[in-house]
Structure 1
Amino acid sequence: MSEIATWPEWAEKISEPGVYDMPDELYHLDPVEGGSLSSSGARKLLPPHCPAIYKHERDNPPAPKKHFDIGHAAHKLVLGSGPELVRIDAERWDTNKVKAEVAAVRADGAIPLKPGEYQQVHDMADAIRKHRIAGALFDPEHGQPEQSLIWQDGPTKVWRRARFDWLPDVTEGRLIIPDYKTSHSADPGAIARTVYQYGYYQQAAWYLDGAEALGLGEDLAFLFVVQSKDAPYLITVVELRRTALRVGRERNRQALEVYAECVATCHWPAHSDEIELISLPAWVENDYLQEAS
């Protein structure tokens, strides 16, 4: 378990809605006076998770995991903001010397990469810049990376927060907000499954709500820029249909109500406090009934 980080004394907490430029570590420590809820937190409050899991992970942040390094490193190069990337010129990382070097790099907040991984993420970023749509969406001349939005929910009065990968310059035209994801596949069918599995439809609705609440635009669009982590690092840009966003907003509303209740009662329930009666998966029961008939 990683050491639990605390809010630094030199940093002021936020008590007003707005768009803020802050370091990633401060955002994840929760910069809002009295506490706030993020999109990822909202997803942890609902099944298949529960409030008890949300509170545990909030109070006990997990240590960095190696399998996230490629995604984080690619984000750094695509967005131009994030932790330093350090190439460790050793293919084997199981010696004491290299282990110590890797640990020192992580302790400094940087990302250690093998030579092949270092080249991989640079090739991924180069593919993004050359892509007709993705390159324009992340154009450094027309936006800012990693901007934090803070606003208050009307019905529950819960403070909400979001951290945009990229916030385009606000103009008179349509505001198109891109979010960069790395994945094992850029196939649209695979992306649809991933959007559901990880609750990205909730993220899209959450971020659009934040942009609208802060008056960043009325004609808003949210796009996922999905890139395969395997060569040739293919890219697919997707926009969710209205039905997906509507379902996301309904799930988010449920999460906000659950969060407000948990804060008010200081009770963060588990999946169930009772004895649950469960069935086999529907497809198993259906197969059994068909065979028995």
Structure 2
Amino acid sequence: MTTVAQAGAQAPASGPAPITEPGIYDMDNETYHSHRYALSSSGARKLIEASPAHFRYEQDHPQPIKKVWDIGNAAHRLVLGNGPTLVRIDAEEWRTKAVKEEVAAVRDEGGIPLKPGEWEQVHEMADALRRHPVASLLFDPEHGTPERSLFWRDAPTGLMRRARLDWLPNPRTGRLIIPDYKTCVSAKPERLERVIDDLGYHQQDDTYRSACHALGIADENAAFVFVCQEKTAPYVITVIEVNATARRIGAARNRRALETFAHCTATGYWPGYSDDVVPVALPGWAETRDTLEYL
């Protein structure tokens, strides 16, 4: 079992020193995201879905905190037992100068400000999860550790990869199950199939299982599951596992992303969609329509 190491505590002002030794690291979320030289699951998805240029721009211009993320981040805090402090702001409307200053002060301290209704919402979500027969066991604080950062070296490219697990289960005999918590609009399985494709969760599945296998945390048979919870009452939960075909596709997409990342890192050039003249056609439906009308 790979031991846990501290990282980021002695980091220079310009950022933490690069991690060169594979392992499990205890660091905060901001420090984790500062290790740009190591490709993450979200980075691999950006390289595939957009372009290297988009990927590099987002690295150089991190997105500011958005209010829309607060519910998901707050629910994570309560479910995992680790993360930013939640602060109840006793005002449903945040329009006055005094309330705006209070909200800004909470964010400046790294906390998450919540309206009274939101405070109740995320606590009810956490309570619903603790009552779920499967999810409650997956995130049992006696059998795992929240938010651990995994770094390992990709053998074909020699580059470092990284993954931040929501939950690192304690070593056990038998098949290890690694859970990841997601908030969603609908936890209906048929709707989640579309979400997996839209958000590239099959790539995340491959990344996290690869990390655990590379570091000796689990063998190739380890399960990776998504605990998906709706953000509206009754806060229904569905635990899903992507199938073998989706995992193979996720692995292939990750491999292409790693090869692209390696080439761009070596050359220092991060292209857009294409550097060539690209021939384009009308959409199929428009071509059919106008062929009948004009040709």
Normalised by the length of structure 2, the TM-score is: 0.91
> Which residue number corresponds to residue 110 of structure 1?
111
> Which residue number corresponds to residue 158 of structure 2?
157
**Aligned Cα root-mean-square deviation (Å):** 2.0
> Which residue number corresponds to residue 231 of structure 1?
233
* 1:251-270 superposed matches below 5 A: 251-270=253-272
What is the identity, as a one-letter code, of the residue corresponding to 1:186? A
> Which residue number corresponds to residue 220 of structure 1?
222
Q: CA deviation at 1:271?
A: 1.3
Deviates more, 1:273-282 or 1:236-245: 273-282
* 1:1-293 superposed matches below 5 A: 8=13, 12-30=17-35, 35-47=37-49, 49-218=50-219, 219-285=221-287
Q: 1-side partners of 2:101 and 2:190: how far apart? A: 42
Q: CA deviation at 1:98?
A: 1.3
Q: 1-side partners of 2:241 and 2:160: how far apart? A: 27
Structure 1 residues 113 and 270, CA gap change in structure 2 (3 angstroms): same
What is the identity, as a one-letter code, of the residue corresponding to 2:259? E
Q: CA deviation at 1:289?
A: 6.8
Structure 1 residues 269 and 166, CA gap change in structure 2 (3 angstroms): same
- Aligned residue for 1:46, secondary structure, equals helix
- Aligned residue for 2:272, secondary structure, equals coil
Runs of 4+ residues over 4 Å off in structure 1: 9-12, 283-293
Q: CA deviation at 1:277?
A: 2.1
Structure 1 residues 273 and 132, CA gap change in structure 2 (3 angstroms): same
- Aligned residue for 2:142, secondary structure, equals helix
Conserved 8 A contact 2:15-2:34: no
Any unmatched runs of 5+ in structure 1?
Answer: 1-5
Structure 1 residues 266 and 94, CA gap change in structure 2 (3 angstroms): same
Deviation per residue, 1:227-247 (Å, 9 max, x gap): 000100000000000000000
Conserved 8 A contact 1:7-1:26: no
Structure 1 residues 277 and 168, CA gap change in structure 2 (3 angstroms): same
Conserved 8 A contact 2:187-2:236: yes
- Aligned residue for 2:146, secondary structure, equals strand
Q: 1-side partners of 2:132 and 2:45: how far apart? A: 31
Q: 1-side partners of 2:187 and 2:294: how far apart? A: 42
Q: 2-side partners of 1:177 and 1:191: how far apart? A: 19
Q: 2-side partners of 1:95 and 1:145: how far apart? A: 37
Q: 2-side partners of 1:285 and 1:168: how far apart? A: 54
Q: CA deviation at 1:151?
A: 0.3
Percent pairwise identity: 54
Q: 2-side partners of 1:41 and 1:135: how far apart? A: 30
Q: CA deviation at 1:39?
A: 0.5
